[in-house]
């Protein structure tokens, strides 16, 4: 079956590219992907598979492929939402929806998985088990789509789960993996500081919220340098400090927003505890009132070591000219809500190199000039195909 599957994928490489280009031209934002979801559903129309739509808190789709023999159940996931970015690639198939762009490769994820799923459906009689194809909405915006799909119970029968992400850091042919904690968890906070406004000439008659906010900005950085184990990863970014006023007026109120990244659940807890402690200290030191909103967006992504080793072995044994290098990647600080699947289901999320041809310094994901080498799509499809075949012992 393995050779059959690979031959089928190679024969449909151009179809993958055309699907990717259609999706790239017609991006939709998280939780608003109605047309994209319908496009995916139309692709499976008339095919003998079980299809669930509107799974979770949005437009999630699950396609269940029941094999011809009993066995384990696995999940294969691809996300399909886009970002609120004005595209600057100049591609002939650039976004038709101004201010919305597939700048993270989700168009490619969806394209490869649609074709792989269709090929697996055609070969299902040879599969000793069940494969659930998860077309997921809303990866980019918390709470995301993954957690709601897990909470729906639609994946309760899955034994293992797999997914990939296109990354431009390596050229086509590179496939990367990492065992254990692999991508950062993410939290968000908003801090409102209420002081007392006044005239710039009379600070003694006011209570400057900007000074209190500035102290908070510098203080929270000591959490990373003085509260975390030096061998643990943590990042605190103050991305917004809204203190706009006028030059001779002491500001009575400021609002700050921040992004926090961490690689373990323990580090997550330490950072939250310390942020809350510093907020209490700011209130006491400056005599201001603080209102803190602190939410955990996505957990750290943990690749099961045993499953990851099986993925690595399947890829190394592929002996396929499209898969040139199987390499261990370092831990990465971006976050992905695939982590929610991995909290419940042992699995592996790995990476497909996609540097555009002729580009030495590619734009990273979420950049308005982000692009991929479309040859990465066949690498993605084959890589996941080899993992499926290896999992079920199909030669």
Prior bond of 179 cis (ω within 30°): no
Is 135 assigned a ligand-binding role in the annotation? Answer: no
Q: 34 and 114 in contact (C-beta within 8 Å)?
A: no
Q: What is the pLDDT of residue 314?
A: 98
Question: Is the pLDDT assigned to residue 34 strictly greater than 90?
Answer: yes
Is 137 assigned a ligand-binding role in the annotation? Answer: no
Is 106 assigned a ligand-binding role in the annotation? Answer: yes
Determine whether 139 is an active site residue.
yes
Q: What is the DSSP letter of 353?
A: E
Cα dist. 137→31, 40, 191 in Å? Answer: 7, 11, 30
Q: What is the pLDDT of residue 75?
A: 98
**What percentage of the chain exceeds 70 in pLDDT?**
100
Cβ neighbour number for residue 204 with a 10 Å cutoff: 6
Helices (H), 123-157: 146-151
Instruction: Output the pTM of the full model.
Output: 0.92
Q: What is the pLDDT of residue 395?
A: 85
Q: What is the pLDDT of residue 132?
A: 98
Q: 181 and 242 in contact (C-beta within 8 Å)?
A: no
CA dihedral of 119, 121, 122, 128, whole degrees rounded to 10: 110
Q: What is the pLDDT of residue 77?
A: 98
Tell me which of 87, 139, 336, 373 is the catalytic residue.
139
Is 165 assigned a ligand-binding role in the annotation? Answer: yes
> Using alpha carbons only, what angle is made at residue 98 by residues 358 and 77, rounded to the nearest 5 degrees?
65
Nearest to 77 by CA among 51, 102, 106: 106
Q: What is the pLDDT of residue 363?
A: 96
pLDDT tens per residue across span 320-329: 999 999 999 9
Determine whether 81 is an active site residue.
yes
Tell me which of 28, 33, 79, 81 is the catalytic residue.
81
Rounded distance, CA 245 to CA 387, Å? 57
* CA R_g for the chain: 24
**What percentage of the chain exceeds 90 in pLDDT?**
99
Mean pLDDT of 71-78: 98
Is 104 assigned a ligand-binding role in the annotation? Answer: yes
């Amino acid at each position: 079956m393995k050779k059959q599957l690979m031959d089928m994928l190679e024969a449909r490489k151009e179809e993958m590219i055309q699907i990717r280009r259609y999706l790239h031209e017609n991006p939709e934002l998280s939780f608003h992907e109605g047309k994209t979801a319908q496009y995916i559903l139309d692709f499976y129309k008339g095919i003998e598979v079980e299809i669930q739509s509107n799974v979770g808190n949005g437009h999630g789709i699950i396609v269940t492929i029941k094999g011809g023999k009993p066995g384990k159940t696995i999940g294969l996931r691809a996300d399909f939402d886009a970002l609120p970015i004005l595209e600057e690639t100049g591609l002939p198939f650039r976004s038709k929806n101004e201010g919305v762009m597939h700048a993270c490769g989700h168009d490619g994820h969806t394209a490869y998985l649609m074709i792989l799923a269709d090929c697996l459906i055609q070969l299902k009689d040879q599969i000793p088990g069940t494969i659930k194809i998860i077309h997921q909405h809303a990866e980019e915006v918390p709470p995301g789509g993954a957690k709601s799909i897990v909470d729906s119970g639609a994946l309760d029968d899955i034994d293992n789960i797999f997914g990939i992400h296109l990354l431009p850091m390596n050229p086509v042919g590179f496939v990367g993996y990492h065992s254990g904690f692999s991508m950062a968890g993410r939290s968000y906070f908003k801090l409102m500081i209420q002081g007392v406004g006044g005239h710039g000439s009379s600070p003694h008659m006011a209570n400057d919220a900007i000074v209190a906010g500035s102290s908070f900005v510098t203080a929270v950085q000591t959490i990373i340098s003085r509260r975390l184990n030096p061998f643990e990863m943590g990042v605190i970014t103050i991305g917004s400090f809204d203190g706009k006023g006028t030059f001779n007026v002491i500001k009575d109120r400021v609002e700050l927003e921040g992004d926090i990244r961490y690689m373990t659940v323990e580090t997550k807890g330490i950072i939250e505890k310390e942020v809350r402690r510093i907020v209490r200290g700011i209130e006491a030191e400056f005599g201001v009132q603080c209102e803190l909103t602190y939410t955990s967006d996505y957990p750290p992504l943990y690749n099961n070591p045993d499953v990851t080793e099986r993925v690595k072995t399947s890829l190394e044994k592929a002996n396929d000219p499209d898969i040139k290098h199987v390499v261990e990647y370092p831990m990465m600080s971006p976050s992905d809500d695939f982590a929610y699947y991995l909290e419940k289901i042992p699995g592996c999320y790995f990476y497909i190199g996609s540097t555009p041809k002729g580009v030495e310094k590619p734009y990273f994901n979420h950049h308005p000039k982000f692009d991929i080498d479309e040859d990465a799509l066949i690498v993605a499809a084959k890589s996941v195909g080899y993992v499926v075949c290896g999992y079920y012992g199909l030669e």
